[in-house]
Amino acid sequence: MWGGRGTGRSLDWAVSGPLAGLGLTHTHSAMQNWIGIGIWIVVGVLIAMVMKALIKRPEESEGHTVVLAALGAFGALIGGMLGVGLGEFFDPRALSLSGTVGAVVFATFISWLYRWGIRTLI
């Protein structure tokens, strides 16, 4: 609802209420968030490919590379959102340390789980 037509609001806002004295403002652009999300996706795919290289499966069939890349990207998106939600309270940005760490950790976990854990059950 920010910056929409007829709202009279801008994407820049200042914190009000009891936290107003801290001087916190929201000034980053929406494009930075999309760039951060794109970086999460690329990192997730790269982590999935590293997992594929590290964990060799003797009974591996064709076609699992695409599934593994998609799961790595999905894990990075979920982990990045969780990282931003847990670490960035006043100025949530996708391109932040907590978002990137969350993306790396969750993409690694999901890729490992598919490569090592679930594949042994199938």
30 contacts: CB under 8 Å, gap ≥ 6? 11
Residue 118 pLDDT exceeds 70: no
Strand partners, 14: 25
33-89 pLDDT tens trace: 888 899 999 999 999 999 888 887 777 767 788 989 999 999 999 999 999 988 887
The CA distances from residue 25 to 16, 28, 35, in Å, are 10, 9, 21
- What is the reported pTM? 0.69
The CA distances from residue 75 to 18, 56, 58, 78, in Å, are 36, 21, 25, 5
Residue pair 87/97 in contact by the 8 Å Cβ criterion:
yes
Q: Per-residue confidence at 12, pLDDT binned at 50, 70, 90?
A: very low
Q: Where are the domains of the chain?
A: 29-121
